[in-house]
Chains A and B, each alone.
Chain A
Amino acid sequence: MNNTKLSFSSKIYIALIIFFLYAPIVVMALFSFNSTPSTYIFSEFSTKWWSEMLHNSAAMQALKSTILLAVVSAVVSTVMGTLAAVGIYNYTNKRLKSVVMSVTNIPMMNPEIVTGISMMLLFVFSAHLLNKANALNFWSLLIAHVTFCLPYVILNVLPKLRQFDINIYEAAVDLGCKPVNAFFKVVMPNITSGIITGLVMSFTLSLDDFIISYFTSGPSFQTLPIYIFSLTKKRVKPDMYALSTLMFVVILVLLILLNVAQNKAQKGKSEKK
């Protein structure tokens, strides 16, 4: 592969792609600094909407709820997904393994509206059986989010497990290490990158999910996409732009940090070799 062949046209192509991907976000960030609520005319630079955003208690509450839900569901689904991936990897019965893999893929392939409605019906029905009044609350949302995040974690960890050489683990156990300790000391460091990718992916999916959250949320817990969707009768104020820009910047910074850390780790590995 001749790397000097990055022609002028491919540079233009890359620039165009990046432009199309990020232009909406740049425009939104630009208009969050607008002094009037218009999205057509940029009148004056002002940080009015940024301070307004902090005063909008409903949006702030929705943001806190969304982030809390995303973090908890990412952690729960990563733990469950990693354990599941290890279990699936160790299956000897091939047919059972393929059946379990197909079942795992169902929440991913299912249209979100089907998942959302079926989960809502399930929660209402079980609450009716158990005679509880509030079926749809934080826990129903959490269960729904973990359900659709799980396949992504499993699909990220399994390939890493396959790449890993099982003989190292068996050597560790032979040398007297307890299996649990061997797992944490020998297997985990090698599959960490898969786990981290699964964690970040579940966090992102949970953060921006709308349809499933809409059906399984109740009176006590509202996520940010639902709040923004309810603004369709009155206008969406630019403090929402400020909020979205803030979320974008935070996630961008996190991803950059992640990338830098991974690069350093890889550099360290190649230097050792």
Chain B
Amino acid sequence: MRVLKKSFIFLLCLILTFGCFVLTAGAEDEYFTDEQIEYYKNLGLQGTSVNVYNWGDYISDGSDGSMDVVSEFERLTGANVNYTNFESNENMYSKLVGGGVSYDVITPSDYMIQRLIDENMLLEINWDNVPNEALIADEYKNLFFDPEQKYSLCFNSCSTVLIYNTALVDEEVTSWEVLWDEQYRDKVLMFNNSRDAFAIAQAVLGQDFNTTDEQDWIEAAELLAEQKDAVNPVYVMDEVFNLMESGEYAFATYYAGDYELMVENNEDLDYCFPEEGVNIFYDAFCIPTCAQNKAGAEAFINFMHEPQVAFENTEYIYYACPNTEVMEDEESSVYGSEAVYPEELPNPQYFENLPQNILELQATLWTSVKSGNLSVKSAKMNERIYIEFSVLIGITVIGVGAKLISDKRKSKFEDLSDLYVK
């Protein structure tokens, strides 16, 4: 019992020291002017709660001495922010559609916003409550998914890019087709995300990324299956950082801002915007119809585009910020970066919302590509499933039957032996 007591006291001391650590760790800098502080204090949001649903790791969170945006917002307005994360547009959409949730601010991508607008799931933003909308550059307003600028405000934008390791690649890289080159077998990383991966194949085939022709998608899937045969790519998302920085892989497809993050850790890396075309995406703030605190949502959106906050976010995320104050700020780490703010992109395309039959076809094709099943005809797959299933049932039936028969035989044998023993 003394050991128990001693160890409990030890644990308690540990917890207390950690607690002190946490208390002393928060040395506050003042980021904001008095006017900004007054503005947020007078909004009357004290005591309310704002539910924010954002991508993972997509806001400056106080690490490395940066601003903890959520805490600063809570401090300035007095509101309580419930900050939760999602990892893909589709999962965010199913959470919204499933019901029973009330998010105030969401940050979907362009095609998902188009879908939400079409299905009347977004509220119109009152721009009087978001004065920082004036700071957004014109080329990021009235975008294709929200042409009247009623439902969304651009958060940031980026494009896909081909990253390569100059130590492993001697030739000059200008095209996506190098990802099909057999000399780079086992050294290629592809998007583990169906829309982005298909976009690469569609770019090589010269298709429109938003084609509704099913045959186009089947051809793109067959091209991806050829790539799997020729090069055996590894499908990754966030693992790409470690894998490219380690210098083991020759090519990766990822987003331009993340290239800037990677090149800081491995100087051999270089990028190229392939001539067949890349995809540009926009992530924007929206207010869904299930929001309970619209005023809080608008205040949060406004806060995210305060120059100091947008600057800190860009320093953390490294994607292109639509806020003119950040774009012109020379202190920004991505200022003048050709990857993040490219002058001209060859043949850029945008993702739009696709009809339901294409989405389902895309999902089936993606699973068959990743599983290595070259045949995309569903009848063949069904046949295989039926055959395998019936073989399994046959084996089970035979096994059980054999066991039953042998049990019966044993019990018959035992009955007879009883007779003899007596």
Contact = CB atoms under 8 A, between A and B. Distances in A.
Contacts of A226: 84-85
Contacts of A220: 49, 51, 82
Contacts of A253: 7, 11
Contacts of B61: 55-58
Interface string B35-57: 00000000000000101010111
Contacts of B84: 217, 219, 222, 226
Contacts of A135: 99-101
Interface string A220-235: 1110001101111111
A232 B100 contact: no
Interface stretch (B125-133, B181-189, B236-244, B331-339): B236-244
Interface stretch (A19-27, A38-46, A72-80, A91-99): A38-46
Interface stretch (B62-70, B218-226, B388-396): B62-70
A219 B7 contact: no
A123 B100 CA distance: 7
B32 interface: no
Give the size range of B's interface with the partner. 35 or more
Contacts of A124: 98-100
A237 interface: yes
A70 B99 CA distance: 25
A120 interface: yes
A219 B82 contact: yes
Contact of A219 (B53, B87, B265): B53
Q: Considering residues B3, B18, B84, B238, which has the most beta carbons from chain A within 10 angstroms of its beta carbon?
A: B84
B270 to A, nearest CB: 19
A177 B86 CA distance: 57
Nearest to A36: B265
B101 A239 contact: no
A237 B241 CA distance: 10
Nearest to B239: A235
B258 interface: yes
A133 B103 CA distance: 11
Contacts of A181: none
A55 B87 contact: no
Interface in B79-111: 82-88, 98-104
Nearest to A133: B102
23 contacts: A37-B265, A38-B242, A38-B245, A55-B61, A55-B62, A55-B68, A56-B61, A120-B100, A124-B100, A127-B100, A128-B100, A135-B99, A222-B84, A222-B85, A227-B85, A229-B56, A231-B56, A233-B57, A233-B87, A234-B57, A237-B57, A237-B63, A260-B4
List the 10 closest pairs (A to B, CB-CB), nearest first: A135-B100, A230-B56, A230-B85, A219-B51, A124-B100, A234-B57, A40-B246, A231-B56, A235-B241, A222-B84
